[in-house]
C-alpha cells in the first residue's frame, strides 16, 4: 500500500458486520457506482469475481453492494434489510458470478446500473480493511481510491484541464470548515474523473449544487461516510 | 514530516529521539498527517473505544444466533463463569478476554455494529485483550487508549510491510495481525518500552505465520470467532513472556517480511475463498450445501 495510511484505517472503520472487505468495502463500491452513475437506477446487475463470487452470500456482500447503490453508509443497520428496501423502491437487482479475468483482484465486482435514459458499468475491488479501488468505468481504465470510513468524498467529472480542477479545488477551500485531504484523478472519455477526499464537516447539498454550476464541471456527487466516527 | 513511520525500526528510533511511547507517536503521526490537533485525534479514538465497549456489553448478554445458526450465545456462557475461577485453569483476565472477544465476534456475525480493528474478522482480539486487562489494572480509560494507539501503530506497520487482507494473506493477516497488535498494546499498557512492545508483537505474530483463512461457507463465524478468543491467550502470553525478560530472536520487521513472503506463496484456496482447509471438511461441505454453494473438494 503506497498511500499514507491513517491510524483509523487500522482502528476502524466502525461498520455493520460481518466482513470489512466483503461487507463494508462492498457497500463503499456500491456507493461509488451510484455516485458515478449520477442518477437513480431502476435496475442493477452485479458481476461477482473471485472470492466475492465464492462467498458473497455468507458475508452479506450482496446486501452491502445493494445498500451502497441505495446510498447507505457502511455503518447503516438497514444493510441487513437491503433486499426488502430495494423492492419497496422498485429497484430491480441481480447477482451473477463471473470471472472478470486474471488481473482482477480476488474481491472484485462489476456493477452495471441502468435506467430508461442511461447505462453505466463500474468495476471496483475491495482491497482489505474497508479500503477500495475503482478500476474501470465503462470501458475506460481508471484508478480511484476510497476508504470505507475515513473521508467524505466528492466524485466529480470535469473538463480535462488542470485549470478546471484547480478552480474547483479553490472553491471547495473557500467553504468554511472543509478542507481537501487528497485528490485522485483519472482520464475518462476526454474528461477528468476525480475523487476529492474532504475533511471537516459534512458538505451541504446546496454547496454541492453550487460546485456543480462551475464552468467545466459536468457533475458532482457527495458520498456518505460513517457518522459515528 | 517529523513523526511518519512505516517500520518498527523507524518507530523505535522516533520514540527514542523524542522520548515518547509508541502510543504518543501514533497520536502525533495521525495529527501530523491529518492536520488535526492531538486532542481531536484522541477524541476520535475515544469514540472508537465506545463502539467497542457497546459491542462487548451487548455481546456478553446476547443469545442471538447468526443466520446459519453456527454461532451465538458463547460469550454469555463464558462470561457467566467469570467469578468461578476455581473451575477454570486460566485466570479471570484470560477468561474475560475470551468472553469479550467472543462477544464482539458474535455481534459481527449477527450484522451488528463493531469496529474493524484491524478487520471485521479479527475484530475481537484487540477489545478482548485491552478491555479485560485494563479492568484488571483498574486502569481506567486513559490507559486503554494508550493500548489502542500502540496496537494501531503495529497494525499500520503490518499493512505497510505485508497485508491486512485475508484475501491476500490468509488468517495470519487478520487474527494473526490482531494478536500481534494486542500483544504490543498490552505491553505498553503495563509500562513496557517500545522495544518490548515489538518483541511481544514479534513473538505473537511468529506463532500465527501461515495461518489459513478457511471459514465454513465463507462466513466469518467458524473458526473465526473462537480463533479470536484463543488469540487473546496468545497475545497475553507473548506480553507476559516479554515482561519476564524474553526477547524475540527475529526482529518484528523481519517477521512482517516473512508474513508477506508467505502471503505471496499461499494457495488462493486458503485465502478467504472457502476452497480449502476447514471449509472443505465434511462439516464445512454440509454448510456449503445448506448455502447452495458448490462443493469442490471432499476430504
Ligand atoms: S478464517 Fe478468514 S474470515 Fe475467519 S477470521 Fe480468519 S481471516 Fe477472517
B194 and A CB contact within 8 Å: no
Q: Under CATH, to which class is A152-222 assigned?
A: alpha beta
For residue B278, is it within any domain? yes
Interface of B with A in 212-271 (CB under 8 A): 215, 217-221, 268, 271
For residue B245, is it within any domain? yes
- Across the interface, whether the CB atoms of B33 and A13 are under 8 A apart is answered no
pLDDT at A227: 35
For residue B3, is it within any domain? no
CATH 3.30.1330.90 fits A7-146, yes or no: yes
Of A6, A23, A80, the CB nearest to B120: A23
pLDDT, one tens digit per residue, over A158-217 is 999 888 999 999 999 888 888 888 888 888 888 898 888 887 777 888 899 999 999 999
- What residues of B are in contact with residue A14 (Cβ under 8 Å)? 48, 51, 113-116
Pocket around ligand 1: residues whose beta carbon is below 6 Å from it? B 121-122, 166, 171, 174-175, 213-215, 220, 224, 227, 272
For residue B284, is it within any domain? yes
Interface of A with B in 149-178 (CB under 8 A): none
For residue B298, is it within any domain? no
List, run by run, the mean pLDDT of 10-residue segments along chain A (229 residues). Answer: 76 87 91 90 96 84 96 88 96 96 93 96 89 89 74 84 89 86 84 85 86 91 54
Q: Where residue B124 sits, what CATH number does that domain have?
A: 1.10.4100
A5 and B CB contact within 8 Å: yes
The one-digit pLDDT tens for each residue of chain B (299 residues) are 899 999 999 999 999 999 999 999 999 999 999 888 999 999 999 999 999 999 999 999 999 999 788 999 999 999 999 998 788 999 999 999 999 999 999 999 999 999 999 999 999 999 999 999 999 998 778 899 999 999 999 999 999 999 998 989 999 999 999 999 999 999 999 999 999 999 999 999 999 999 999 999 989 999 999 999 999 999 999 999 999 999 999 999 999 999 999 999 999 999 988 899 999 999 999 999 998 888 999 99
For residue B2, is it within any domain? no
For residue B17, is it within any domain? yes
Q: Which long-range contacts (CB under 8 A, 24 or more apart) does A130-134 make?
A: A130/A9, A130/A12, A130/A13, A130/A15, A130/A20, A130/A21, A130/A24, A130/A25, A130/A28, A130/A74, A130/B116, A131/A1, A131/A9, A131/A25, A132/A25, A132/A28, A132/A29, A132/A32, A133/A105, A134/A29, A134/A32, A134/A36, A134/A195
Give the closest residue (by CA) to ligand 1 atom 4.
B224
For residue B197, is it within any domain? yes
Of B168, B217, B268, the CB nearest to A58: B217
Instruction: For A21-106, list the strands marked E by DSSP.
Output: 43-49, 92-97
| Domain span holding position B281 | 8-291
ipTM score assigned to the predicted complex: 0.95
If you measure from the C-alpha of residue A193 to the centroid of ligand 1, how many angstroms do you get, rounded to a whole number? 35
Q: What are the Cα distances from residue A7, in Å, to B153, B216, B243?
A: 7, 31, 26
List Cβ neighbours of B172 (8 Å cut-off, separation of 6 or more).
B205, B208, B209, B210, B211, B259, B262, B263
- What residues of B are in contact with residue A57 (Cβ under 8 Å)? 218, 291-293
d(Cα A40, Cα A113) in Å, to the nearest integer?
Answer: 9
Domain boundaries, chain A: 7-146, 152-222
- What residues of B are in contact with residue A6 (Cβ under 8 Å)? 30, 33-34
Question: Best mutation site among B117, B227, B276, B284 for ligand 1, i.e. most ligand atoms within 8 A of its Cβ?
Answer: B227
* Among candidate residues A229, A216, A169, A215, the one with its CA nearest the CA of residue A196: A169
Amino acid at each position: 500500500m503506497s498511500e499514507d495510511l491513517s491510524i483509523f484505517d487500522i482502528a476502524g472503520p466502525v461498520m455493520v458486520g460481518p466482513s470489512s472487505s466483503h461487507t463494508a468495502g462492498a457497500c463503499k463500491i456500491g456507493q461509488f457506482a451510484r455516485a458515478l452513475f449520477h442518477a437513480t437506477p431502476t435496475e442493477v446487475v452485479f458481476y461477482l469475481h473471485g472470492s466475492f463470487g465464492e462467498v458473497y452470500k455468507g458475508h452479506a456482500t450482496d446486501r452491502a453492494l445493494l445498500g451502497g447503490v441505495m446510498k447507505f453508509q457502511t455503518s447503516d443497520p438497514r444493510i441487513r434489510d437491503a433486499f426488502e428496501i430495494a423492492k419497496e423502491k422498485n429497484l430491480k437487482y441481480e447477482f451473477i458470478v463471473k470471472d472478470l479475468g486474471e488481473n482482477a483482484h480476488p474481491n472484485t465486482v462489476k456493477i452495471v446500473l441502468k435506467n430508461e435514459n442511461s447505462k453505466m458499468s463500474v468495476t471496483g475491488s475491495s482491497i482489505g480493511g474497508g479500503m477500495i479501488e475503482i478500476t474501470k468505468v465503462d470501458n475506460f481504465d481508471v484508478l480511484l481510491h476510497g476508504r470505507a470510513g475515513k473521508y467524505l468524498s466528492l466524485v466529480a467529472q470535469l473538463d480535462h484541464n488542470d485549470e478546471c480542477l484547480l478552480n474547483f479545488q479553490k472553491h471547495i477551500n473557500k467553504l468554511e470548515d472543509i478542507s481537501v485531504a487528497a485528490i485522485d484523478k483519472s482520464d475518462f472519455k476526454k474528461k477528468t474523473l476525480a475523487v476529492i477526499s474532504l475533511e471537516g464537516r459534512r458538505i451541504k447539498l446546496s454547496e454541492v449544487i453550487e460546485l456543480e454550476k462551475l464552468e467545466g464541471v459536468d457533475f458532482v456527487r457527495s458520498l456518505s461516510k460513517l457518522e459515528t466516527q | 514530516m517529523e513523526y511518519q513511520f512505516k517500520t518498527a525500526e523507524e518507530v523505535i528510533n522516533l520514540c527514542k529521539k523524542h522520548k515518547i511511547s509508541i502510543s504518543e507517536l501514533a497520536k502525533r503521526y495521525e495529527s501530523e498527517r491529518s492536520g488535526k490537533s492531538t486532542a481531536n485525534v484522541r477524541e476520535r479514538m475515544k469514540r472508537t473505544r465506545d463502539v467497542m465497549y457497546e459491542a462487548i456489553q451487548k455481546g456478553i448478554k446476547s443469545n442471538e444466533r447468526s443466520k446459519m445458526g453456527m454461532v451465538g450465545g458463547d460469550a454469555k456462557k463464558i462470561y457467566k463463569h467469570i467469578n468461578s475461577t476455581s473451575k477454570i485453569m486460566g485466570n479471570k483476565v484470560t477468561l474475560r478476554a475470551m468472553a469479550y472477544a467472543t462477544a464482539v465476534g458474535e455481534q459481527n456475525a449477527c450484522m451488528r455494529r463493531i469496529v474493524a480493528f484491524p478487520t471485521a474478522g479479527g475484530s475481537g482480539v484487540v477489545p478482548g485483550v485491552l478491555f479485560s486487562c485494563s479492568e484488571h489494572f483498574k486502569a481506567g480509560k486513559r490507559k486503554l487508549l494508550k493500548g489502542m494507539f500502540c496496537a494501531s501503530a503495529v497494525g499500520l506497520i503490518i499493512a505497510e510491510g505485508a497485508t491486512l487482507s485475508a484475501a491476500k494473506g490468509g488468517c495470519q493477516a487478520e487474527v494473526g495481525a490482531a494478536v500481534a497488535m494486542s500483544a504490543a498494546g498490552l505491553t505498553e499498557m503495563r509500562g513496557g518500552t517500545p522495544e518490548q512492545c515489538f518483541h511481544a508483537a514479534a513473538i505473537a505474530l511468529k506463532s500465527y505465520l501461515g495461518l489459513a483463512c478457511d471459514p465454513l461457507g465463507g462466513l466469518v463465524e467458524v473458526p473465526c470467532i473462537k480463533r479470536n478468543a484463543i488469540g487473546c491467550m496468545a497475545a497475553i502470553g507473548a506480553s507476559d513472556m516479554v515482561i519476564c525478560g524474553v526477547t524475540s530472536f527475529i526482529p518484528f520487521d523481519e517477521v512482517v517480511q516473512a508474513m508477506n513472503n508467505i502471503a505471496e506463496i499461499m494457495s488462493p484456496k486458503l485465502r478467504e475463498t472457502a476452497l480449502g482447509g476447514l471449509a472443505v471438511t465434511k462439516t464445512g461441505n454440509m454448510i456449503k450445501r445448506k448455502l447452495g454453494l458448490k462443493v469442490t473438494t471432499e476430504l
